[in-house]
Amino acid sequence: GIQVEQSPPDLILQEGANSTLRCNFSDSVNNLQWFHQNPWGQLINLFYIPSGTKQNGRLSATTVATERYSLLYISSSQTTDSGVYFCAVEIYSGAGSYQLTFGKGTKLSVIP
Amino acid sequence: ETGVTQSPTHLIKTRGQQVTLRCSSQSGHNTVSWYQQALGQGPQFIFQYYREEENGRGNFPPRFSGLQFPNYSSELNVNALELDDSALYLCASSLSTTSEQYFGPGTRLTVT
């Protein structure tokens, strides 16, 4: 099956710093989503981005489908950005069915 | 607009028992997908329901089963619980089988 690798696995930032999270995938995908999982387990949608670049406030994402990677940029980080960031790729699994395959996540800790 | 809701929030069961988890999809969404997230891992796809039919399944045994109702809400049933079934169970709804997925807050299941 498809492999989704996220890096780095752990990241500690000083408040106000910028960071880049990477997601590599091993095969063509139908779509890609970025999520932030808060400490209570809720997955919050950040971006739905099969290709190109999108921005939402301090966050932006770029997916280069032809090279099978996506990047999530966080600028001017805040303590509330702490949590685990997941990349998930949507693949076709046959008979009209699509499924999300997740990476293992990047655990971000932002310290004051 | 009401988001995806799940019940119960937490559950403790004994090995060998059966459990039913519930999910209400976001208004207008006809597709529900279920995921299992073990501690420290990314969510893993269990199955997807579209218009009351199972529409794709991940690598989970038949003792994991589901239902979708005419109002598009869904249930996940797990029979003969094992210790390794302890996890966070997440459901997600979407407008169709291949569109952005929105997750509920999850049910944390502990099997003792």
Over chain A, what HEC string results?
A: CCCEEEECCEEEEECCCCEEEEEEECCCCCEEEEEEECCCCCEEEEEECCCEEEEECCEEEEEEHHHCEEEEEECCCCHHHCEEEEEEEEEEEECCEEEEEECCCEEEEEEC
Q: Give Cα A45 to chain centroid, integer Å.
A: 10
Mean pLDDT of chain A: 96
- Backbone φ and ψ for B49, nearest 5 degrees, come out as -120, 135
Q: How many residues does chain A have?
A: 112
Please give the distance of CA A91 from its chain centroid, rounded to a whole number. 16
- The answer to whether the CB atoms of A97 and B48 lie below 8 A apart is yes
Instruction: Quote the strand ranges of B1-112, DSSP E.
Output: 5-7, 10-13, 19-24, 31-37, 44-50, 53-57, 64-68, 74-78, 87-94, 102-103, 107-111
| The pLDDT value given to residue B76 | 98
Q: What is the mean pLDDT of residues A50-65?
A: 97
The model's confidence at residue A93, banded by pLDDT at 50, 70 and 90, is confident
**pLDDT score of A68 more than 80:** yes
* A56 backbone dihedrals φ, ψ, rounded to 5°: -145, 95
Higher pLDDT, A96 or B16: B16
Q: How confident is the model at residue B96 (pLDDT cuts 50, 70, 90)?
A: confident
B79 CA to chain A: closest CA distance, Å?
23
My answer on whether omega of the bond before B61 falls inside 30° of 0, hence cis, is no
> pLDDT, tens digit, for every residue of B9-66?
999 999 999 999 999 999 989 999 999 999 999 999 999 999 999 999 999 999 999 9
Confidence of residue B2 (pLDDT cuts 50, 70, 90): confident
**Res B1: pLDDT:** 61
**Of the candidates B42, B88, B105, which has its C-beta nearest A86's C-beta?**
B42
CA distance B54 to chain A (A): 9
Q: Does A94 touch chain B (CB under 8 A)?
A: yes
The closest CB to that of B45, out of A43, A95, A100, belongs to A100
What confidence score (pLDDT) does residue A111 get?
Answer: 97
Q: Flag the least confident range among A60-64, A91-95, B25-29.
A: A91-95
- Residue A97 is predicted with a pLDDT of 83
Contact status of A101 with chain B (Cβ, < 8 Å): yes
CB contact under 8 A, B42 and A94: no
